[in-house]
Amino acid sequence: MIGKIGQHGRENYPKLAVKPSFLQDAEALGNPAMRVFLTWAVLLFSTIPMMSQTSPTTPCSTSPGEIIASPTRGIALNAARPATDWESATPVTFCSDWQGKNPDPGRETRVRVLWSRDTLYLRFECRYRELHVFADSDPNGRRDHLWDRDVAEAFLQPDPSHPGAYKEFEISPNGLWIDLDISPGAKPDLKSGLQRSVVLDESAHTWTAELAIPMKALTSAFDPTAVWRANFYRVEGKEEPRGYYAWRSTNTPEPNFHVPSAFGQLRFAISDKK
């Protein structure tokens, strides 16, 4: 959740390299072999600047706007040694900011979803550059204003007919969490009873979190044929400018994740083996 946002929510990114120019005119040379050589040279060097410009700015996105939750009979959470059921869940990946700009592969986030009749499971796989976490929390790990440090977030809207109402879940690299029941003008604790497992790999600069959310905290009558709305986010940093990243861009002037109209779709794959 973005609760307190500074006036400088965007990071400073390096400028793209300037394209080199090929100034030699092959047709001005009389040697046919030289003209052929220069022609191939032009083609070769023209691809180099294109590669140098597209590689750093290629969005690490693998989804057109929907995520599919794969069925499971239930799993034990273990972020370090994930259950094999996760392999059936096609991930969505993102590293661009809330405006869909400035992709940063060093802060890439991958999200997978599983479902059973009783539980919705989320798995976040996160790359990071630096860690900024709270050291204190409630005894159960809940931490108010968790979004003021590094977090991965899921906004879930089981009933799109109420566009202003959705559920918010946040998890930090050290396992702190918060869940909120968002509606116009209100954000009380959801008290969902979520469970979590988190692992940090400082040598690889990654952290991974798995959440198990009771389905009854999300909807009173779960229907796997329904299409939910959802969005996923990352925040990294302690002070502005911070990194604000979104699966589905909210396109607001300043960082703002609370834009339900920008949510993507969450569908539930059906299987007889669930």
pLDDT digits (tens, 9 = 90+) for 83-107: 999 999 999 999 999 999 999 999 9
Give the mean pLDDT of 258-267: 98
% of the chain at pLDDT higher than 90? 75
Residue 59: asked if its preceding bond is cis (omega within 30°), the reply is no
Q: Say whether pLDDT at 207 is over 80.
A: yes
Query: What is the per-residue pLDDT for 271?
Result: 79
Q: Say whether pLDDT at 30 is over 50.
A: no
Which two tokens mark 26?
A: 């092959």
Q: CA dihedral in degrees (7, 260, 143, 5; nearest 10)?
A: 0
Q: Residues of 202-226 as b/e, b for ≥16 C-beta within 10 angstroms?
A: eeeeebbbbbbbebebbeeebeeee
Containing 32, the helix (H) or strand (E) segment is helix 32-57
Residue-wise pLDDT for 157-176, tens only, equals 999 999 999 999 999 999 99
When the pLDDT of each residue in the chain is averaged and rounded to a whole number, the result is: 83
Query: What is the per-residue pLDDT for 238?
Result: 96
Q: Say whether pLDDT at 274 is over 60.
A: no
Q: Say whether pLDDT at 52 is over 60.
A: no
Give the mean pLDDT of 40-56: 35
Band (59; pLDDT cuts 50, 70, 90): low
